[in-house]
Amino acid sequence: MPLQTQLVGQCTSPRHHAVDTRWTMAYAAGLQDENPRLRDTTQASLCVHPLFPVCLEWPSVLDSRALPGHDGLSDDELARGVHATHDLHVIKPIVPGQAYQTTARVVDLQAGQQGARVCLQLDTYDEAGDLVTRTWQTNVSRGVTIEGPAATPIAQAPAWPDIHLTQQAVDARREIPIAVSAGLGNIYTETARIYNPIHSDRAFALAAGLPDIILHGTASLALSVTALSRELLDGAVDQVTRLGGRFTSMVLMPQTLTLHITAQGSDWALFELRNDVQAPVIKDGFMVWSQASATAII
């Protein structure tokens, strides 16, 4: 069935989360991120992986599929949905031991070549009611059309970072191999608490028309961020203020991905993640750090 334009403006009820060190450490360990800032409990406080907010956002993403205007899709149509773009802004660090709540608001709905494009604004707040993270996420319902009177977007996702490339920035490019184990889809499913059987159940994945189980897009992005933080920030993950990219290809397991840092500045890096046949998995990837870079453009 088509998505209905009445979906634009709809918002999910808040999802409440208790974030503890067991969860944040498991998320980092599942990514084989050896950064002691993420797992050494002898420290006064632990940092969380920059992509950990996706764990809090997932239940709200699921809730958005039950909103009026989206709730008519069949199970087959829902299974054809793909995560297309991700743009995470970190306003305040997530702190283990605190409670948070997350909502998903549909801010735009557009017809695309592959199907209906749904843009979500995912907001996570702390106990004081302060905005902690905001993610702009586009999902594509492949083969699904749109029906209803034209709807005006209620918010505009910010543009990708406007970065002036110098020759020095381009000359900083390098390549980093990233090993993906055969079981990472199952491991990431459990540590992120993001359950979609195409990432962990081979029979389900094959029935959905996939060649095998595939890795979560956010896992590919998280692996990239782990490598970038180790290579460029000496593990100072709490300095990351914005990250994202466009998901363009599936990742089968096992294989070795290659992170291509295509340009680098003093507080930013551009990258592309490619699979073992050099097809892009993530295009237009970026990571920004330092307080001055992201909070003003959410």
Characterize the bridge pairing of strands 115-126 and 15-18: unpaired
* CATH code (residue 69): 3.10.129.10
Q: Distance between terminal CA atoms of the chain?
A: 33
For tokens 């459990």, the residue is 190
Domain count, the chain: 1
Instruction: Note the pLDDT of residue 295.
Output: 37
In angstroms, the CA 176 to CA 171 distance is: 15
* Whole-number pLDDT of residue 75: 85
pLDDT of residue 121: 98
- List the one residue out of 231, 216, 293, 218 whose CA is nearest residue 261: 231
pTM reported for the whole predicted model: 0.94
**CA 130-131-136 angle, 5° bins:** 170
pLDDT at 294: 36
Provide the domain limits for residue 233.
3-297
Q: Rounded distance, CA 101 to CA 87, Å?
A: 19
What does the pLDDT read at residue 293?
39
DSSP secondary structure, the chain, as one string: -PEEGGGTT-BPPPEEEE--HHHHHHHHHHTT---HHHH-TTSSS----TTTHHHHHHHHHHHHTTSTTTTT--HHHHHTEEEEEEEEEESS---TT-EEEEEEEEEEEEE-SSEEEEEEEEEEEETTS-EEEEEEEEEEEET--EESS----SS-PPPSP-----HHHHHT-EEEEEEE-TTHHHHHHHHHT---GGGT-HHHHHHTT-SS-B--HHHHHHHHHHHHHHHHSTT-GGGEEEEEEEE-S--BSSEEEEEEEEEE-SSEEEEEEE-TTS-EEEEEEEEEESTTTTGGG-
Residues of the chain where predicted confidence (pLDDT) is lower than 70: 291-298
Distance CA 284, CA 272 (A): 6
pLDDT in tens, 29-87: 999 999 999 999 998 889 999 999 999 999 999 999 999 999 999 888 887 889 999 99
